[in-house]
Amino acid sequence: MTGKKYIISTLIAAVIFISAGAVLRLAFLSRDKSKQQIRVGFVYDSDDVTPYTANFIKAQKAAEKKLGSDAQIFVRTNIRENDAEEAIGQLIAEGCDIIFTTAYGYGETAKRIAALHPETQFCQAACGNANDEPFCENYHTFMGEIYQGRYISGAVAGMKLNEMIERGEITAGEARLGYVAAFPNAQVISGYTAFLLGARSVCPTAVMEVCYTNTWSNYAVEKKCALRLIDDGCVVISQHSDTTGPAVACEEVLSKKNVCHVGYNQSMTDIAPTSSLISCRINWEPYIVGACEAMLQGRRIEQAVSGNVHGNDIGAGFEQGWVEMLNLNELIAAEGTKEKTDELIEAFKDGTAEVFKGDYTGTDPSDPTRTIDLSSGYIENENSSAPTFSYVLNDVITVVEI
């Protein structure tokens, strides 16, 4: 063989070798990543006694039913934030392919552990840190756009205020709402702002007092806050807290004062049948079931779940069934409330509803130098499933101590 022919033959052989290697690599990268069965872990800060966790457990049960033998479920309940690392570690040891961490306070721990275990997918609820640096490909966040339900709840409350005014039970200047709030963070502030703006969309004189409990779940403190607000003249009480304390407070004072309640996370009509107007909740089922199915199919979660995707974060509202209204009490709700509720749900579904907009200014309670003017509007959940609106509206919202 001449030198020239040898060189040509060597080059051809090299090309074939490289091409074969490329084909093998491509086959490896594109091979079927689907699974016949997955192991799914859940970490809860409580159990089904509290409505917040009960809603996640409903979604867990829905996943179990839909996936059947395709999924094995592993659960850790009543896990404090300081114990989250141990609980997550146990689920990793159980071989979980995907782990759902459901309390806001787990976020930093879950993300840190996710970076150490790239073979496992971590899905953190109600936390907005998925796209923050350091970015972790297998760490995801998700949350329903609950401001929508809060706004509709507020409209229901506002219609009740109008009815009270028309009946002479209160004056327009006494259209006062009360709100039992857990903490002064964006998740809570966004919710109670949407609630007030919903009320003012039908009752323009409505104002609101907010009382912080500084805890997510404490029956006695929540009830005490509600009673304080009622004593101040608030005639409709709502809440972003996790017990029935505020609803019970409203029901107990009815013999002396006409007070109504608007709930969160669960229907309150069994607890407060003569004062509960309506409730709203996040439905976690679409995400949790969808994420599990994504694992079985070998797909990226954000490509498999329907919602508003922001990198490794996803959220949705009424349009995807992630937010729900619960049990409108038509026995005590103002006339036309159901029709108004249906109208607003459709407005959110078709994207025509506007919430954070109007002749309002607000101040950040953690930094009084930060202010906002809502005349041009503010789009909540524009870049994150977790709420970001964190301004207390001037003149129409007052924060009071317990």
* CATH of residue 75: 3.40.50.2300
Mean local confidence (pLDDT), 293-313: 98
DSSP3 helix / strand / coil % (the chain, rounded to 5): 40, 20, 35
Q: What are 197-227's pLDDT values in tens digits?
A: 999 999 999 999 999 999 999 999 999 999 9
Whether residue 24 lies inside any domain: the answer is: no
Q: What percent of the chain has pLDDT above 70?
A: 92
Domains: count for the chain: 2
Whether 165 and 233 map to the same domain: the answer is yes
Is 144 strand, coil or helix?
strand
Whether 261 and 299 map to the same domain: the answer is no
Q: How confident is the model at residue 25 (pLDDT cuts 50, 70, 90)?
A: very low
pLDDT at 33: 60
Q: What are 306-343's pLDDT values in tens digits?
A: 999 999 999 999 999 999 999 999 999 999 999 999 99
Whether 276 and 298 map to the same domain: the answer is no
Whether 333 and 227 map to the same domain: the answer is yes
257/282 Cα distance (integer angstroms): 31
Read off the DSSP letter of residue 369. E
325/318 Cα distance (integer angstroms): 9
- Give the residue from 233, 247, 234 showing the smallest Cα distance to 277: 247
Q: How confident is the model at residue 34 (pLDDT cuts 50, 70, 90)?
A: confident
The yes-or-no verdict on residue 262 having pLDDT over 90 is yes
Prediction pTM value? 0.91
Whether 249 and 183 map to the same domain: the answer is yes
Q: What are 77-105's pLDDT values in tens digits?
A: 999 999 999 999 999 999 999 999 999 99
Q: Which residues span the domain enclosing 243?
A: 147-281+320-400
3-state helix/strand/coil string of 339-358: HHHHHHHHHHHCCCCCCECC
Query: How would DSSP label each residue in 149-162?
Result: HHHHHHHHHHHHHH
